[in-house]
Structure 1
Amino acid sequence: MAPAKRAGKGKQAQPKPKDGAPPLPFKQPPEVLEPFISTLSEKHIYITHIDTKPADFKRKIFLVPVGMNICVVLLFILRMFWILPWYFKLVASAMGHPNETTWTATDATWSEGGWEVGKRAITMLFDFVLFVFVWPWPIEFAAGQAHGNPCQWRWQIGFRPKEIYVRRSRDWDQLLKDIFTDKDSKTILLTYLQQATSPILQEQKTGYLLMNGQWDLDWAEMVHAHSLVDKKDIAIEAFRNLVLVHHRDYGWMSYDLKVSEASGEDERRRQVFAFRDTLTAMGKEDLFYRWVEVVQFESTRPEGFGPDEQEAAARKIRELFEDEKINFDELWKQSIGSMNSSQA
């Protein structure tokens, strides 16, 4: 019997660990999430996080698409009220009942005929676009069934200080191959995940505004997640910064966000934004920008930014805040503490 051919190193599949754990940066999701994970589609990647924006702010944001969809419905009804009689007359004319829409081509010139055909074609094309591409917006908003709809979500969840948002990958996920054997697929996946889970992005935008070309919101799963929390089957903290990916060999895996190289930098930026928000709430937003100017100026001086220069900059910053009767160190700790408490 001839010996089996060896697989090339570049195409060799990565062996599955003995304990069944997926390779880093993935790991097995907590068992407590099984009731939630069991309802997910294996074709998609999911991201969950907790939005701690004030309930009133979320209500105002949601009123924008509500108003837009109401306007679309009203304009569509107005258009139908105005144009439907014209279509009925066209049909009646075609069936042998002359009316003002009846037009005899033999009595018209080429220019007159072209103008009349063009007007009717543009009118019909406009109504076709409205019916096929615009009208589905309010229908999906209020009565979508594939993944739920925003109205059903808000009706059942309401507006809460802490809300679970579930994002679902769009069609790009179908182009991925095995992320453990295909380097390009893994790179694409991790790039999208790192962009979507950036602490700065999630801190600055409420969850409703995180829909984009790569991610949709899964309304039905958001309702399901909250129902599990309300029944105390799962703690709400289990949904904080959770990424779920399905693999044919390992089943559902969670992406370990702590291994992201950019997580430390994102956390520092998040602290700066929290500090800015604290100063803004105190009516001292201008002090924040003066602080930024001092840091930028001192850190870019030609002599460098060594320990001595850093100490001198710290003294200037403390004096700047003392002139406003603010203890910089205490305020920084307070702002970071409030950021952590809002995540709790």
Structure 2
Amino acid sequence: MAPSKKARLGGNSSRGSSKQSSTTSSSSSDTLPKPFKAAPTTLEPLYAHLNPHHIYLAHIDSRPRDFKRKIFLVPVAMNLAVALLFAWRLYAVAPYYLQLFASTIGYPNELTIRAAEMEWQPLLLIILHRSLTFILDFLLFIFVWPWPYEFAVGGSASHGAPLGWRWQVGFRDQEIYVRRSRSWDMELGDLFGAEGSAKRNEFWSRVGEATNPLLLQQKTGYLLMDGAWDLDWDAMVLATSLVDTKKVELDEFMEPVVLLHSEKFGWVTIDRGDSKAAGEEERRKQVFAFRDALAKLDKEDLFFRWIEIVQFETSKPGVFGAQRQHEVAEQIRELFTKNGVDFDKIWGEVVAKTSTAGAQKEDTGATSDPE
């Protein structure tokens, strides 16, 4: 998840003479605001082929390949059904349109209308019927046919197709997913320019939501397409190929990678070594490990109920102080106890295994946002 605090320029305040002020200001403008940093050269084989006008997110989906196969079979079946229905419609209606065309160019047939010899009511019905037929087929061609076509081939502004991606990559236990921002990124402009500070708020909001660890844990990569992000099939094929040929290490994608381009700084990413980011990363690992521990006990539903309780309580108006934290902690402990689970024991084991900062005080997770 992206840091919630606003990025600030790292230059010192101007002091002394106007010349010194000018020098300091110039130095600040040449420095990336934290927690941004230049993208690592180890990923250059990937981002060298990306569109600099978009923002990219890359991560690894470690769900079993059988699960991914089942998920992918759903759009395959849907698009195959649409393609077959479209083919049947084309087969059924093609002779009809051929006869209409022949009648139009002067070859009479059973569809030829002699309006001067017909009553207005039958003529009106024929016109209405043909109009509805034209409208139906037009809508099918414009709105329905693109589904299987884009799934198999890709659209006009395409960056690959799902079927081509699967054909080249196959199904794997560890798959690299690359998302690219949709049109909203055009409104951001240069995030590192004079007015970039205000624009970075939307950037953090979009990226933070898209890289939410719970979202990545609950949804397989194929289902992460939404109004803000689309999957870049070509980039996914490229990333997988680079890993297969050892040009890029798979470990580069173990944590979500954010890539964006600046005219001044080139390709930029987020420094996850930042102290706040590191702390958040440790909490994420603890949350995931806690879920895994409950899953081994066949109590995974308790994990989601725990998340719901914490999110609900922390979103209430007022200060989430020590008293409320204690009340929520007792509520969570009671919930786990009723289900035969010792919360403090499991959470303590998780913290002991995942902590990178030494001994830590056990709590119920209610003192911080579990996300």
TM-score, length of structure 2 as denominator length? 0.73
SS of residue in 2 equivalent to 1:152 = helix
Q: Matched residues in 2 for 1:119 and 1:148: separation? A: 40
Identity score, percent: 47
Q: Which residue of 1 aligns with 2:236?
A: 222
AA of the residue aligned to 1:115: L
Structure 1 range deviating more: 83-92 or 185-194: 185-194
The alpha carbon displacement at 1:159 in A equals 1.4
Tell me, yes or no, if structure 1 residue 164 matches structure 2 residue 176.
yes
Choose the corresponding residue for 2:203, options 189, 192, 199.
Answer: 189
SS in 2 for 1:81: helix
Secondary structure at the counterpart of residue 49 of structure 1: strand
Please state whether the residue corresponding to 1:144 is helix, strand or coil. Answer: coil
Alpha-carbon offset, residue 270 of structure 1: 7.6
Matched with 1:60 is: 70
Q: Pairwise mapping of residues 53-202 of structure 1 onto structure 2 (< 5 A)?
A: 53-144=63-154, 146-180=158-192, 181-182=194-195, 183-202=197-216
Q: Is the 8 A contact 2:306 2:332 kept in 1?
A: no
The answer for the alignment partner of 2:297 in structure 1 is: 282
Q: How does 1:297-336 map to 2 (within 5 A)?
A: 306=323, 309=326, 313=330, 317=334, 320=337, 324=340, 327-332=342-347
CA distance in 2 between counterparts of 1:193 and 1:246 reads 15
Equivalent residues of 2:333, 2:343 under 8 A apart: no
When the two structures are superposed, what TM-score results if normalisation uses the length of structure 1?
0.78
Q: Structure 1 residue aligned with 2:47, among 27, 37, 60?
A: 37
In the alignment, the residues of structure 1 paired with residue 113 and residue 178 of structure 2 have an alpha-carbon distance, to the nearest angstrom, of 56
Give the C-alpha shift of residue 244 in structure 1.
0.7
- Report whether the alignment pairs 1:26 with 2:36: yes
CA 1:249–1:204: 2 relative to 1, 3 Å: same
- The range that moved more, 92-101 or 155-164, is 92-101
The unaligned stretches of length 5 or more in structure 1 are: 1-5, 7-13
Q: Which amino acid aligns with 2:134?
A: M
Q: Number of aligned pairs?
A: 322
Structure 2: how far apart are the matches of 1:260 and 1:118? 70
SS at match of 2:45: helix
1:315 Cα offset (Å): 11
Tell me what 2:363 maps to: none
Q: Is the CA contact 1:294–1:313 (under 8 Å) kept in the aligned structure 2?
A: no
**Deviation per CA, 1:135-194, whole angstroms, max 9, x where unpaired?**
222122112274121112112222112111100111222222222322543222222111
SS in structure 2 of the partner of residue 76 of structure 1: helix
**Could you say if the C-alpha distance between residues 120 and 332 of structure 1 is closer, same or farther in structure 2, counting changes exceeding 3 Å?**
same
- Alignment CA distance shift 1:264-1:151 (3 Å): same
How far 1:76 moved relative to its partner?
A: 0.5
- On the 8 A contact 1:200/1:270 being kept in 2, the answer is no
Structure 1 residues 184 and 21, CA, compared in 2 at 3 Å: closer, same or farther? closer
| One-letter code aligned to 2:270 | Y
Pick closer, same or farther for the CA change 1:274–1:108 going to 2, 3 Å: farther
Deviation at 1:212, TM superposition (A): 0.9
Q: Aligned partners of 2:336, 2:60: CA distance in 1, in Å?
A: 38
More displaced 10-residue stretch of structure 1: 280-289 or 264-273: 264-273
Measured at CA, do residues 267 and 137 of structure 1 come closer, stay the same or move farther in structure 2, by a change above 3 Å? Answer: farther
| C-alpha distance in 1 between matches for 2:114 and 2:98 | 18
- How big is the shift at 1:272? 5.2
1:242 maps to a residue whose letter is: V
* Cα distance change of structure 1 residues 30 and 308 upon mapping to structure 2, 3 Å threshold: closer
Change (3 A) 1:31 1:262: closer
Asked whether the equivalents of residues 298 and 309 of structure 1 are also in contact (C-alpha less than 8 Å), the reply is no
- Identify unmatched segments of 5+ residues in structure 2: 1-17, 19-24, 356-371
Is the deviation greater in 146-155 or in 285-294? 285-294
Other structure's SS at 1:179 match: coil
Which shifted more, 157-166 or 70-79? 157-166
Seen in structure 2, the aligned counterparts of structure 1 residues 52 and 315 have a Cα distance that, compared at 3 Å, is closer
